[in-house]
Structure 1
Amino acid sequence: MKRNIVIATVAAAALVGGGTATALAVTGDDGAPSQLSEVRAASDGRADDVREDEDGRDDDATVAKSTKVTAADALAGALRHTPGTAVSAELDDEDNAVTWDIDILDSASKWHSVHVDPATGKVLSSHTEREDDSDDADDAARVRAALQGGSISATEAAKAAAAHGTVTSIDLDEDSGSPAWEAETRTQSGGTEHDWLVGLRTAQVTPDRSSDDD
């Protein structure tokens, strides 16, 4: 009976502390295997998730710190290359190559994806989306409707958000009842991530409370 109490205590400690309990070859009074190994496995799984999350945050922070070209400058460079309305910019880290990935809607409602070097500001590549894609046309209509009456561009929104840290993405939220620019920033020290909303008419920056629900 005492042995079962000890096992339960160790299991509870592992669950509360998030640590790894040492596996013991202990059985209950009835000879049944202890559940301690299951507790250890669950604890180890949580620890692995925490390590993966921390590694991801560290990688994102390193990318943000190593970026010399700001979001606003990358947007300006992309628009010089491909005139139109910039709708989003994001630091894209794929295949160990970091670029600014910028979406632009031109006057003919065609979508363009422009990649900008975050170290030099040089346009690395660009391509136009398929003309016969009806989804692209629908997206264009929503964007134009959301921007109607607003005067703050993605570039201006990125500059406003930069007062709160290094901007790693800026995107138009056209689906909500009150359209706004969504910005993600990281602090210079520690790489802490913050989400913001930037007004389309005033460039006022406020915390994005909706991100707290994620």
Structure 2
Amino acid sequence: MKRNLVIATLTAAALTTGGTVAAFAAGDDEATAPQRQASTSARAAADRADADDQADSADDRDDDASDDRTAAPGGSVTAADAIAAALKHTPGTALSADLEDDGGDAWEVTVVKGDGSAYDVRIAPDSGKVLGAQRDTDDGHDADDRAELTAVKGARTDAREAALAAAAKGTVTEVGLDDDKGGVAWDVETVKDGRQGEWKVALDSGRVTQDRAED
């Protein structure tokens, strides 16, 4: 746009001066010094306009690239990934995984070690890095964890496998255990196209069914 403006201005100047600038550009040796100076200034202005256009184009490309980077999905850590990372750091049995603050903070994975002690392991949702592990000193919570641990011992489907099974229904945001009508199953929450879903995953077969209690 700037370059077109300069060219239009130069064209008008050339017409009012009887074409002397054009004559000099064509090699007219009779052009006067002021005419030569005017032509040189005109060329310099046109070069600057070209440079400005190129700079504007480069800025536009950078802005577009920045928008693409912002919109592009990052390498988000799945529930299954978070559970695997937590168990690698704190070996034991994973009883739950919860994406805190809808993904804005961290995954929190509850792991019960072989001695019965429970730990909350926090996993970064963007890198899978372990942010920390804290022992759960709540006696009541420990009793619940032990009861859940008893339920999942010997089960064919663990927390990670339950998360993988339910991932076909959407993005898994939470995995836990639920004692429904005397039967224990994995309870998995998902999000897909802005809609939340809740699913039951059988401990023995890994079969995924919709939690009808949420309908």
TM-score normalised by L of structure 2: 0.62
Match of 1:117 among 109, 120, 124: 124
Is the 8 Å Cα contact of residues 105 and 112 (structure 1) preserved in structure 2? yes
Give the whole-Å Cα distance in 1 for the aligned partners of 2:119 and 2:180. Answer: 21
Counterparts of 1:96-115 in structure 2 under 5 Å?
97-115=104-122
SS of structure 1 residue aligned to 2:101: strand
Give the whole-Å Cα distance in 1 for the aligned partners of 2:185 and 2:112. Answer: 17
Count how many residue pairs are aligned between Structure 1 and Structure 2: 143
Could you tell me how far 1:67 is from its partner in structure 2?
7.0
User: Quick one: which amino acid aligns to residue 121 of structure 2?
Assistant: V
SS of structure 1 residue aligned to 2:146: helix
Change (3 A) 1:84 1:149: closer
Counterparts of 1:194-213 in structure 2 under 5 Å?
194-212=197-215
* RMSD over aligned Cα atoms: 2.0
Give the whole-Å Cα distance in 2 for the aligned partners of 1:67 and 1:158. Answer: 18
User: Quick one: which amino acid aligns to residue 169 of structure 1?
Assistant: E
- Does residue 78 in structure 1 map to residue 81 in structure 2? no
Deviation per residue, 1:107-150 (Å, 9 max, x gap): 111110011011111011111122xx431342133113321442
Change (3 A) 1:106 1:168: same
Deviation per residue, 1:141-162 (Å, 9 max, x gap): 3113321442211000000000
Match of 1:193 among 193, 196, 201: 196
Change (3 A) 1:144 1:194: same
Is the 8 Å Cα contact of residues 143 and 174 (structure 1) preserved in structure 2? no
Give aligned-pair identity as a percent: 41
Give the whole-Å Cα distance in 2 for the aligned partners of 1:195 and 1:207. Answer: 6
Could you tell me how far 1:176 is from its partner in structure 2?
4.3
2:141: which partner in 1? 136
Could you tell me how far 1:209 is from its partner in structure 2?
1.1
Could you tell me how far 1:91 is from its partner in structure 2?
0.7
Is the 8 Å Cα contact of residues 93 and 149 (structure 2) preserved in structure 1? no
The structure with higher relative contact order (CA 8 Å, sep 6+) is: 1
Instruction: Point out where structure 1 has 5 or more consecutive residues left out of the alignment.
Output: 1-64
- Does residue 184 in structure 1 map to residue 192 in structure 2? no
Match of 1:89 among 81, 90, 97: 97
Structure 1 runs of 4+ off > 3 angstroms?
none
Instruction: Point out where structure 2 has 5 or more consecutive residues left out of the alignment.
Output: 1-72
SS of structure 2 residue aligned to 1:157: helix
2:175: which partner in 1? 170
Structure number with greater Rg is 2
Give the whole-Å Cα distance in 2 for the aligned partners of 1:147 and 1:123. Answer: 25
1:4: which partner in 2? none
Could you tell me how far 1:97 is from its partner in structure 2?
4.2
Give the whole-Å Cα distance in 1 for the aligned partners of 2:163 and 2:150. Answer: 21
More helix by share: 2
Is the 8 Å Cα contact of residues 100 and 115 (structure 1) preserved in structure 2? yes
Give the whole-Å Cα distance in 1 for the aligned partners of 2:113 and 2:107. Answer: 19
User: Quick one: which amino acid aligns to residue 106 of structure 1?
Assistant: K
SS of structure 1 residue aligned to 2:91: coil
